[in-house]
Amino acid sequence: AQTVTQSQPEMSVQEAETVTLSCTYDTSENNYYLFWYKQPPSRQMILVIRQEAYKQQNATENRFSVNFQKAAKSFSLKISDSQLGDTAMYFCAFLHPPGGTSYGKLTFGQGTILTVHP
C-alpha cells in the first residue's frame, strides 16, 4: 500500500523568509501524481501545487515550488517570501495512477502545521 510521510509536525518561519516542508512516499508505481494541499483554519482544502511523476521538471506556482526526487521518493515544498496568509496545515498527497483499482483515491500525509510570524 502506498504511504505518505511528513516528518515535520510543526514548522515556523518569519514573514518574507523561505521555508521548506518535507514529504516522502512509498510506491511501486511509475506513473502517479503528487500534491501539496493547504488547509487554513477555515478547514477548506486548497490545492497549492501538483506534480506529475513522469515530468522531470519541478512544478512551480508563484511563490511555491517543489523539489521532486523520483528515485528517492521525495517531494518537498518550498515557500518563498512567506506571508501571514500562508499560515495553515499543509498536506502532502499521493494520487493512485489510472488503470488501477485505487485510481482517484488520494493518500495523505499526516500534515505539517506552518506558522508564519510577523
Partner 1 sequence: KAGVTQTPRYLIKTRGQQVTLSCSPISGHRSVSWYQQTPGQGLQFLFEYFSETQRNKGNFPGRFSGRQFSNSRSEMNVSTLELGDSALYLCASSQRDREYEQYFGPGTRLTVT
Name every residue whose Cβ is closer than 8 Å to that of residue 18 and which is 6 or more positions away in sequence: 78, 79, 80, 81, 82
Task: State the Cα–Cα distance between residues 13 and 102, nearest whole angstrom.
Answer: 36
Smallest gap from Cβ 57 to partner 1, in A, equals: 16
Residue 95 makes contact with partner 1 by CB under 8 A: yes
Residue 101 makes contact with partner 1 by CB under 8 A: yes
- Which one of residues 20, 52, 67, 115 is an interface residue with partner 1 (CB under 8 A)? 52
DSSP 53-102: TT--SPPEETTEEEEEETTTTEEEEEE-S--GGG-EEEEEEEEPPTTSTT
Geometric angle at alpha carbon 46, from 117 and 9, rounded to 5°:
50
DSSP label at residue 20: E
Looking at beta carbons only, is 76 or 94 nearer to partner 1? 94
Looking at beta carbons only, is 37 or 82 nearer to partner 1? 37
Looking at beta carbons only, is 61 or 103 nearer to partner 1? 103
Residue 43 makes contact with partner 1 by CB under 8 A: yes
- Which one of residues 8, 33, 58, 113 is an interface residue with partner 1 (CB under 8 A)? 33
The residues of the shown chain that bind partner 1, judged by CB under 8 A, are 33, 37, 42-47, 50, 52, 91, 95, 98, 101-111
